[in-house]
Amino acid sequence: EEFQYVIIHRPGKSMSHVDALSRNPLPHVMLVKESEDSLIARLKRAQREDDELRMIFENVKKYRAKDYEIINDLLYRVENGELLIVVPKSMQVQVVRQAHGKSLGVTIVGSQL
């Protein structure tokens, strides 16, 4: 099908309402980011408080490990070339609840040692 339409340029001055909306900061987006940052901070802290994970963390820091990697002070398990955050047992329920329905951009798994 063919459509006939006319394109009319409207300067920004005449479209201030649209311009204002496109530049309007969205505070709820920042809250989500803060929530994710807070979760990562809690995961880091919980990894250090978990005796077993702290031992793995220290060994990975000292020696090269093929199954684990440390990125930004966070312990990851490497499975099939994917980095998976190691979630301490003490936080597994909390992480599942927080991640339910949200995409954190990472895959989170329980610690399977």
Domain ranges of the chain: 26-110
Q: Judging by beta carbons within 10 Å of its beta carbon (0-12, 13-18, 19+), is residue 18 exposed, middle or buried?
A: exposed
pLDDT in tens, 52-84: 999 999 999 998 888 999 999 999 999 888 999
* Residue 93, pLDDT score: 87
* Residue 22, pLDDT score: 63
| 8 pLDDT higher than 90 | no
CA distance 69 to 79: 11
What is the side-by-side strand order in the sheet with 74-79? Answer: 68-71, 74-79, 82-87, 107-110
pLDDT in tens, 77-108: 998 889 999 999 999 888 888 777 554 555 55
pLDDT in tens, 18-45: 656 666 665 554 444 556 668 889 999 9
